[in-house]
Amino acid sequence: MSQAGVTTITEHHPRASAIAFEGVSKLYPGTARPAVDNISLTVEPGQFVVLLGPSGCGKTTLLKLVNRLIEHTGGRILIDSAEIRSFAAPALRRRIGYVIQQTGLFPHMRVRENIAVVPSLLKWDKPRIAQRVDALLTLVGLPPNDYRDRYPAQLSGGEQQRVGLARALAAEPTTMLMDEPFGALDAITRSRLQDELHRIHSQLGQTIVFVTHDIEEAVRLADQICVMREGRIVQFDTPLQIVLHPADEFVAELVGAHDVLRRLSLISVADVLQPVDIEAEETIPANADLRAALGMLIENGTTALAVTDEAGAITGSVDLDTIQSASSPP
Amino acid sequence: MNFDYLIDNWRRVLELTVDHLELTAISLALALLIALPLGILVTIAHATSLPVMGGLGVIYTIPSLAALALLIPVPGLGLGRRSAIVVLAAYAQLALVRNIVAALRGVDPATLEAARGTGMTWGQVLWRVRLPLALPVLIAGLRIATVTTISLATITAWVNAGGLGSLLFDGISRDYPSQILAGAVAITTLALVVDGILRIAERMTPASRATR
C-alpha cells in the first residue's frame, strides 16, 4: 500500500489510533540484556506497520507491551497521547484487537460466541451483538448461516484464522495487534488471507501492528517495516527502501538483498513503473513483482512490457533496463 | 448366602440407598466448596502447593475409623451424621484438589493469554475460559472422589450416620449373611450408577462436545 493510500484512509476513518513508543525498554529480572532496548517509534493513525526480525529479536515482546500482556520497565507508550498505564489493563485491551497464531480461539465456544467475546464484555445488547457477528463473518468471507454455530474444531486452519480476525475486529478497535497470525497456514491459504487482510485494512483503516519473520509477508502488507535485532530497531522505512537500501549487512541478509531474483521478487512493478506508453504486445498487472516481469520478458523474447492497472487500462511500462537497475546490489 | 433379605425388605434397602446418596451428596458438596478455592489457590500460587498438598496427604493417612472416633467427643459433632460428613469431606480433599489443579493447569496457556488479550478480567478468564475448558478433567476427578466417598460412607454407619453401611454392621452383629449381601449389592449398584451418570456428564460438557 502506498503512502498516499494511507492518508486517504485516515481522512475517512478518524477512529484509527496513533501509537508512540518513547525510549521503551523491557528488562526481565535476572537477565543481562533487555528484551526490548530503548525503542522509540511512532506509528501514525491508519498505518500498517510490520515488526520484522529473527526469533528472539524482541518483536513479539514489543507488540505485547502495547496491550500490556507484558509490562514495560522503561520509557513511555502512548496511544492517542495517553500513557497506556493510565487505563486499567482489561479496559485498554477491549479497545485493541489482538490476533495470535492458531490457538487464539476458545475451543468450547461456538464461532458466534467467540466473536461476541469483547462486545459482551462491553455489555452490548443481544440483537446488536448478533447483527455484528453476522456482519463480521461476512466481512471475513465466511457465510454466517454456515459458520455461526460451528465450534473451532470444525473449521480449517484458514477458517479459524478468519474467525480470529473477526473476533479481534468485533468492537471496532482503533488499533489491531497481530502476532504472526498466518504463521501456521499453508502457503496458498496464507497468501489468500494476506489479500483479505489488505482489503479489510483498506476498508476499515485502523492502525495495525503486525509481527512476522517472513520478509515476503512484510513487504506485501506493510506501509512501514520496522526491522529489529536484539531488542533494537535496525531500520524503520518503507518496504521498497528496505529492499533497495538496507541499512546494514544484517538487514541485507534478512531481506536476501544479495540474491538478485529474490530482490526482484520483493519489488513490485508499480514501484519502478515508467509512465510512458510503449508499443508492447505483452501486459503485466502493476501489482506483480519484478521477478514475474523478468520471467515474462525472457519467455516472450521482448525487452519491455505494458503495465495495466486493476481495471486493465495501460498505465505505463517496465523494461529490461529498469529491472536491471533495480536488481543491482545496494 | 441368598437374596431373601433384599427381596423381603426392598423398600428398606431403597430408603437406605437414598439416605446413603444424600450423605454422599452433602459431603461432596461441602468438599467441593473447600477444594475448589484451594485448587485455584494452588494453581495460581505455586508456593502454596507443597504445604496444601502435604497437609491433605497427612489427613489422608489417618485411618478413617480413628478419625471418626476422634470426632465423637467434639461438641456439635458427636455421634451421627455431622461427624460422618466432616470425615467424608476431609478424605475427598486430596483427590479433589489434586484433580482440580491438574485440570486447571492442563488448559493451554496460549488460550489463557488470548483470553486476557480480549480484555477479560482475572475472574472472567477463570469463569468463562479456564474452568469450562478444565471441566471434563474436573468431572473425571469428581467421579473418582464420588466413588471413593460412596464406599467410605459405608464405614460411617459405625457412628450412627445411617446409610447402607447400617445393613452391613447390622448383618455382621446378627450373623445374617443375606442382609450383608443386600447391603453389598446396593452399595455396588449405587457406585456403578453414579459413576455412569458422571461419565455421561463428562462427555456432555461444551469442551468435550466441541472437540468431537
- Report the DSSP beta bridge partners of residue A284: A307
Return the SS3 of A247. Answer: coil
- What is the C-alpha separation between A191 and A87, in angstroms, rounded? 36
CATH number given to A3-95+173-258: 3.40.50.300
Environment class of A11 (CB within 10 Å of its CB; exposed 0-12, middle 13-18, buried 19+): exposed
- Contact state of B132 with A93 under an 8 Å Cβ cutoff: no
The pLDDT profile of chain A, 330 residues, written as one tens digit per residue, is 444 433 333 444 457 999 999 999 999 998 889 999 999 999 999 999 999 999 889 999 999 999 999 999 999 999 998 999 999 999 999 999 999 987 689 999 999 999 999 999 999 999 999 999 999 999 999 999 999 999 999 999 899 999 999 999 999 999 999 999 998 888 888 998 999 999 999 988 999 999 999 998 998 899 999 999 999 999 999 988 898 889 999 998 888 877 888 788 888 888 888 887 777 778 888 888 888 889 888 888 888 888 888 888 888 888 888 888 887 765
Single out the residue of A99, A109, A64, A97 nearest to residue A171, CA to CA: A97
Closest residue, chain A, to B205 (C-alpha)? A108
Global pTM?
0.82
Radius of gyration of chain A (CA): 21
Instruction: Choose the closest CB to A108 out of B113, B116, B133.
Output: B133
In one-letter notation, the amino acid at residue B148 is T
Q: Range with the lowest mean pLDDT among A321-325, B93-97, B139-143?
A: A321-325
- Contact state of A93 with B119 under an 8 Å Cβ cutoff: yes
CB contact, 8 Å: A97 with chain B?
no
In one-letter notation, the amino acid at residue A254 is L
CATH number given to A261-327: 3.90.1280.20
> pLDDT band at B18, cuts 50/70/90?
very high
Single out the residue of B140, B139, B162 nearest to residue B85, CA to CA: B162
Q: Which pLDDT score is estimated for A7?
A: 38
Backbone dihedral angles phi then psi of residue A24, each to the nearest 5 degrees: -80, 135
| Percent of chain B whose predicted confidence (pLDDT) is above 90 | 56
- Contact state of B117 with A153 under an 8 Å Cβ cutoff: no
Domains of chain B are 4-210 (1.10.3720.10)
Could you tell me if A144 and A129 are in contact, meaning their C-beta atoms sit under 8 angstroms apart? no
Predicted-assembly ipTM surpassing the 0.85 threshold = no
Burial annotation A177-188 (CB, 10 A radius, 16+ → b, else e): bbbbbbbebeee
Locate the domains of chain A by residue range.
Answer: 3-95+173-258, 107-165, 261-327
Q: Which pLDDT score is estimated for A103?
A: 63
DSSP output for A132-144? HHHHHHHHTT--H
From chain B, pick out residues whose CB is under 8 angstroms from the CB of A104. Answer: 110-111, 114, 117
DSSP output for chain B? --SHHHHHTHHHHHHHHHHHHHHHHHHHHHHHHHHHHHHHHHHH-GGGHHHHHHHHHHHHHS-HHHHHHHHTTSTTTSSSHHHHHHHHHHHHHHHHHHHHHHHHHTS-HHHHHHHHHTT--HHHIIIIIIHHHHHHHHHHHHHHHHHHHHHHHHHGGGGT--STHHHHHHHHHTT-HHHHHHHHHHHHHHHHHHHHHHHHHHHHSHHHHHT-
- What is the C-alpha separation between A271 and A3, in angstroms, rounded? 12
- What is the C-alpha separation between A160 and A165, in angstroms, rounded? 9
- What is the C-alpha separation between A64 and A83, in angstroms, rounded? 15
Instruction: Choose the closest CB to A106 out of B113, B116, B129.
Output: B129
From chain A, pick out residues whose CB is under 8 angstroms from the CB of B108. Answer: 103
Give the mean model confidence (pLDDT) for residues B170-181: 89
From chain A, pick out residues whose CB is under 8 angstroms from the CB of B117. Answer: 67, 69, 93, 98, 100, 104
Provide the grid cell at A126. Answer: 443481544
Could you tell me if A96 and A68 are in contact, meaning their C-beta atoms sit under 8 angstroms apart? no
Asked if the model's pLDDT at residue B87 lies above 70, the reply is yes
DSSP output for A169-192? HTT--SEEEEESTTTTS-HHHHHH
